[in-house]
Structure 1
Amino acid sequence: MKNRKLITSLILAFCSLIGFSQIKLSEQIQMSKSASQESVSLYFIDFWATWCGPCISASKYLTVLQSEYPNDLHIVSLSQENPDLVKAFLKKHDLKLTAAIDNEGETFKKYKVHSLPYGVLLNANGAKIWEGHPADLKSHDINNYLRKYKTRSDYSAFFEVLKYEIVNEEQYTPEKAFEFKEIVNVENDGLQIENEGDYVEIKGRLNEILAYGWKVNSNQVKVKEEDNKFYSLYFKKNSRGFRNMSDTIVRKLKLKNKTKKSLGEVYVLDFSSATLWDTFQIDWTDNPTRYLIGTADIKADNLSVKDISYLLGKALETPVVLKNVDDYYKLHDWDIHFKYYDLMVSSLNDNYGIRLQKEKSELISYNITKKAP
């Protein structure tokens, strides 16, 4: 009976290996110095992009996770961007994970990746056993999967590196303090913010960009569907236009903004008894965006009260109203839970002395229309 069970197990293992289709990579950029290239039990594909600020924070977290399991887990950061751009970015930010390119987007499509950062965990037979925001994959999850999945596979057997001819794209350098262009063929519909030298590039739908500039919820910015186009905007850092971002956009794009006050369901954060963290709790000095939003938590390094309220409102998909704030723009470090309301209330109060409640409150809505020609 024992022999029969052993034979059955071997047959099942052999069949699973036969049915396994290698994960395709267009180009190998770099190999991790800590992960084994020989047999490991688990592979994690980290889908990312150089323009995705939270992806950089996720990479730092995954680097720590990789160092904990050098012989059992191999993490691969996969981008669809130009290899030269990725190489320069990796060198500049000293990111140490294995990195590769998915030029045709085949692997992105295979795992239905629609937002970044995102990741999938695979066993050595190529079966997906976990997916989600990389920051939500914890050490205890890895330990549980390692106990369950014993089969191992070499890196070279797990991934197939293809070869493509890459056409280099010259990076655009703005000539003015503010420039914009409409984008017709949209690859990623989310808000994208990229810091490059003296400029910040922001891509997204008009209502999302304006909401970011005013630091309000996108539901508060009303734009007609035919006018809510996708733009790429360039701002020179610390310029007047950058400091008054949304007002600059409204003026330069020849729009009209009519504000209106009304009652709406909001989260109210009361800072009257707040004792906020300083800027020495989290250190992500080489991450220009300096925040990481998971499915349950927001972690941020050197972000203002105004910025964190915007991120929290975006995560909750509900406007956030601030009360009794002494300084909206002073920088702090943050670690905020938002998935479960009761836990969010208690953690904000315990960590920062911030009182939170959900209520009806006065809200400003921004109604954006085109000026008559």
Structure 2
Amino acid sequence: MSGTIATAAGPVRLIGDNATPIWGMTNAERCRRLAESAGKDGAAVAPGHELLFNLDFVFDPMLLREVLGQPGLVFAWNGVPVVGQAPLGRDPMTASVVDLADGRKLYNRQLRKLEQPFVRDLTPATRREIERRSYFGAYKGVTDLLTKYLWPELALWLTRGAASIGMTPNMVTAIGAALCIYATYLFAHGQYWTGMLAGFIFMVLDTVDGKLARCTITSSKWGNVADHGVDLIHPPFWWYFWGVGLGSWGLALSTQTFALVMVAVIAGYILQRVIEGLFLKDFGMDIHVWRRFDSDFRLITARRNPNMAILFVALLAGRPDVGLVALAWWTVISLAVHAVRLAQAYRTHRSGRPIVSWMEEPVP
């Protein structure tokens, strides 16, 4: 398969050959998709340069983003080039080489984590391990407790199954969206346990579609819009209709209490999103990666998954009404924490100190 191919990012030179499949495709196809995806996102090879991919290896996609941003940069493993942007017709090892075999860590801005980028030789014996490593490599380093610790193995099994039968991420998103709407209906009628089950499956699929897109390099603009749109919109509806369904249990909140709870959960949710948006706009990064405290707080902050954990515990105790009130209080507390952190960031910025993630380490 050695040779040069044209892609949206520019010329790509494939080194070697490899018949071992990865996520249902050849490594050459995976590399082509990576270059096409980067090109569609606006990245381009510098004049007089070419991308190079060594088909003997599978690597973390973040390495491609790094080399596209630095003409002449080549990542190697034990002296063997893996991926880089090298001058046309030149020996890649005469470029600016960073050998990742030394164990160095890089900051993955897209996934908000500091880690050693994944590089592995692709053989039939290593394929399953590579799929596992690339799957977990697609996980955000800063996320909630459930996504990080509870269902990664289940989502891996589902992601592999979806890839093996040719399902697209958009298909998974559509199934998840249907379950999300069904859970909302069940909550409204007080069928909390069935609604929890539908919601749980949706929450897992919400992980699967993103991992499937990253592992098979099949992300799309409208797929991202649909996925993030569902994520953004549905939580307040879940909490509202959970409150509506309390009447079926004889535990309906008073009109005044229900109104206060809804103001807390809906306004709190919206304002937290506004704070996150302001932080991203003004400082160019997610609020949850500024300091280690922010990353740790993201594990339990009042987003959908931690809130569902609160409701689950309350449901076990037979008090879904108490769960909703506790959710409202936790939302207010989380909002206060984020508001304080935003104010502290502005104060730090005004003092002349840079706002930099605690995980960020520049590539030498």
TM-score, structure 2 normalization? 0.26
TM-score, structure 1 normalization? 0.26
Report which structure shows greater RCO (CA 8 Å, sep ≥6): 1
Return the structure number with greater strand share. Answer: 1
